């Protein structure tokens, strides 16, 4: 389908190779058109905040079951590795969410806050001792990875190989391939399933006080368990890793904001975390498929149509955010959609991600007061996540 020359096409892989500033400008043009815009592949882009929120909160009309990543994961991958809850509708989704949300209650988070602090303090100590100069591997990936492994109860012996897989995912792949396979390689997926299967067998014999034991006790097994673990590795590690890396760069570019955070990290930490997620949108977009005909934002959508919920655009919507390109950690309210637009799939790890960012930056800014990024982050082009491949740093 030929689109008018001046209307950006989000379905064109070339669009996702544009520099971030040009992409944001294209989103602004699309928002100005009003109604959802038809892309070259026939899907519709939801670029305005209110449209993303409406689609997120009407799961009876906007289905996740057909697959939320673009393009859809091949059927055989879903059969072999099982479906993760982001790609489910009720009643399957509600059942699984009911089980796993028990691991993310405020009480559980309060209980693991000591672990989060220990991980952050270990990372800061390793930076001081080892003097690494690349932030993504040395700090940003380790923080969420260690926290999730601790929550799940993954023994230290397995962590090294899993971390290696995560650090490699996306490296050495072409832009095209990264655009096609969001976030993970099949080899990494197979390895995660093997590891979790082994740990689950151990916990069935000897339960411990961890998430894997709770999931096994709730009769989650085999592919379902493996799919949940790999979802946490992608949804919980890669997103938070990118938020942490963008966070350091944003603080380095905005010394006034950095001074505010350093002066009172406990007070400003949560606002900082939310503003980093709004400004950087670690997940750029997710998809839904229409269950029936429905009018949204002045456009009649038909049953079977795909829509992409473009969080990265909604988070800069000038109708909702004053001066949307400004990085301002005191922004209140901050109704961003970086964790989703509400509704049943809203990010389960929101409070944990806020806690990780708050604790990590409190630790880093206190023990390494001159910490800052050097040069620009190396971004890995993707239509799915706002991934930082490498970020040099000094302190
Ligand atoms: C800055 C970090 C994070 C960002 C930006 C983020 C973003 C998102 C987004 C956009 C969704 C989809 C929401 C929707 O479809 O309405 C999601 C879902 C999810 N996230 Fe996060 N996330 C982050 C951290 C985490 C962490 C730390 C965990 C867990 C340890 C986690 C676990 C999940 C899970 C399990 C889902 C699926 C929920 C469902 O389908 O019911 N996320 N996240």
pLDDT digits (tens, 9 = 90+) for 267-276: 999 999 999 9
Lowest mean pLDDT among 143-157, 236-250, 289-303, 337-351: 143-157
Lowest mean pLDDT among 114-123, 201-210, 279-288: 201-210
Is the beta carbon of 236 within 6 A of some atom in ligand 1? yes
Whether 310 is in the pocket of ligand 1, judged by its Cβ within 6 Å, is no
The residue among 157 and 308 whose pLDDT is bigger is: 308
Q: How many CA atoms lie within 13 A of 106 on its CB side?
A: 0
Mean pLDDT (whole number) for 385-390: 94
Report the pLDDT value the prediction gives residue 104, as an integer from 0 to 100.
Answer: 87
- 142-152 vs 239-253: helix axis angle to the nearest 10? 150
Range in 117-131, 160-174, 308-322 the model is least confident about: 160-174
Residue 147 beta carbon below 6 angstroms from any ligand 1 atom: no
Q: What percent of the chain has pLDDT over 70?
A: 92
Residue nearest to atom 18 of ligand 1 (CA): 347
pLDDT of residue 103: 80
Encode pLDDT of 7-61 as tens digits: 889 999 999 999 999 999 999 999 999 999 999 999 999 999 999 999 999 999 9
Does the beta carbon of 247 lie inside 6 Å of ligand 1? Answer: no
Locate the ligand 1 atom nearest the alpha carbon of residue 144 and give its number. 27
* Greatest mean pLDDT range, 77-81, 97-101, 138-142, 186-190: 138-142
87 pocket-lining for ligand 1 (C-beta < 6 Å): no
**Cα distances (angstroms) measured from residue 273 to each of 121, 345, 357:** 18, 20, 6
CA 105 / ligand 1 centre spacing (Å): 15
Cβ of 69 less than 6 Å from ligand 1: no
State residue 5's pLDDT score.
Answer: 53
User: Span 161-187, mean pLDDT?
Assistant: 54
Q: Which residues contact 60 (CB under 8 A, 6 or more apart)?
A: 291
Phi-psi region of 196 (alpha: psi -120 to 50; beta: other; left: phi over 0): alpha
Query: Is residue 196 in contact with ligand 1, taking CB distance under 6 Å?
Result: no
User: Does residue 225 register a pLDDT over 90?
Assistant: no
- Alpha carbon distance 62, 64 (integer Å): 7
Q: Is 348 in the pocket of ligand 1 (CB under 6 A)?
A: yes
The verdict on pTM exceeding 0.75 is yes
Q: Which atom of ligand 1 is nearest to the CA of 309?
A: 15
What is the spatial distance between Cα 262 and Cα 94, in angstroms, rounded to a whole number? Answer: 41
Pocket test for ligand 1, best of 85, 98, 232, 349 (most atoms within 8 A of CB): 349
Q: Give the whole-angstrom CA distance, residue 124 versus residue 244.
A: 14
**138 pLDDT band (50/70/90 cuts)?**
very high
Nearest C-alpha to atom 39 of ligand 1 is from which residue?
345
* Sign of the C-alpha dihedral computed for residues 152, 157, 158 and 163 taken in this order: positive
Q: Which of 9-13, 168-172, 193-197, 361-365 has the lowest mean pLDDT?
A: 168-172
The residue whose CA has the least distance to atom 32 of ligand 1 is: 349
Please report, rounded to a whole number, the percentage of residues in the chain having pLDDT higher than 90.
Answer: 66
What's the rounded Cα separation, in Å, for the pair 133 and 8?
37
Q: What is the pLDDT of residue 174?
A: 33
Nearest Cα residue to atom 30 of ligand 1: 236
Q: What is the pLDDT of residue 183?
A: 44
pLDDT at 215: 83
Is the pLDDT at 189 greater than 80? The verdict is: no
Q: Is the CB of 235 under 6 A from ligand 1?
A: yes
Q: Which atom of ligand 1 approaches the CA of 342 most closely?
A: 16
353 C-alpha vs ligand 1 centroid, how far in Å?
A: 9
Q: What is the pLDDT of residue 76?
A: 66
For 63, phi then psi, to 5°, come to: -85, 145
Does the pLDDT at position 387 exceed 90? yes
Residue 77 — pLDDT band, cuts 50, 70, 90? low
pLDDT attached to residue 168: 65
The pLDDT, as a whole number, for residue 169 is 56
Helix pair 222-231, 92-100: axis angle to 10 deg? 70
* Residue 308 near ligand 1, beta carbon < 6 Å: no
- Average pLDDT across the chain, whole number: 89
By the 8 A CB rule, do 281 and 23 touch? no
Average pLDDT over residues 211-217: 84
Is the CB of 231 within 6 Å of ligand 1? yes
Provide the pLDDT for residue 222. Answer: 73
């Amino acid at each position: 389908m030929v689109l008018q020359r001046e209307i950006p096409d989000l379905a064109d892989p070339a669009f996702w190779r544009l520099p971030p500033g040009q992409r944001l400008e294209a989103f602004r043009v699309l928002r100005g058109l009003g109604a959802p815009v038809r892309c070259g592949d026939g899907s519709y882009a939801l670029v305005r905040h209110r449209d993303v929120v409406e689609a997120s909160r009407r799961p009876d009309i906007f289905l996740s079951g057909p697959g939320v990543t673009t393009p859809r994961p091949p059927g055989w991958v879903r059969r072999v590795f099982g479906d993760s809850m982001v790609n489910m509708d009720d009643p399957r989704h509600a059942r699984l969410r009911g089980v796993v949300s028990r691991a993310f209650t405020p009480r559980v988070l309060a209980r693991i806050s000591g672990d989060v602090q220990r991980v952050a303090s270990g990372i800061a100590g390793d930076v001081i001792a080892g003097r690494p100069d690349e932030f993504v591997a040395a700090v940003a990936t380790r923080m969420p990875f260690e926290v999730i492994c601790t929550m799940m109860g993954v023994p230290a012996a397995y962590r090294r190989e899993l971390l290696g897989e995560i650090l490699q995912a996306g490296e050495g792949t072409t832009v095209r391939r990264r655009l096609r396979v969001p976030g993970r390689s099949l080899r990494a997926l197979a390895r995660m399933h093997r590891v979790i299967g082994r740990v689950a067998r151990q916990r069935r014999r000897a339960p411990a006080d961890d998430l894997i034991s709770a999931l096994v006790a709730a009769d989650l097994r085999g592919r379902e368990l493996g799919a949940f673990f790999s979802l946490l590795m992608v949804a919980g590690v890669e997103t938070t890793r990118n938020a942490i890396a963008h966070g350091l760069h944003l603080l380095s570019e905005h010394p006034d904001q950095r001074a505010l955070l350093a002066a009172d990290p406990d007070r400003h930490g949560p606002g900082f975390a939310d503003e980093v997620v709004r400004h950087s949108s670690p997940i750029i977009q997710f998809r839904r498929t229409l269950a029936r005909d429905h009018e949204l934002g002045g456009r009649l959508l038909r049953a079977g149509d795909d829509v992409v919920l473009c969080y990265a655009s909604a988070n800069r919507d000038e109708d909702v955010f004053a001066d949307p390109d400004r990085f301002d950690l005191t922004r209140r309210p901050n109704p961003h959609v970086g964790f989703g637009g509400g509704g049943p799939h809203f990010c389960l790890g929101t409070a944990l991600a806020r806690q990780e960012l708050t604790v990590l930056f409190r630790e880093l800014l206190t023990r390494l007061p001159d910490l800052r990024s050097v040069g620009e982050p190396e971004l890995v082009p993707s239509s799915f996540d706002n991934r930082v491949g490498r970020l040099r740093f000094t302190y």
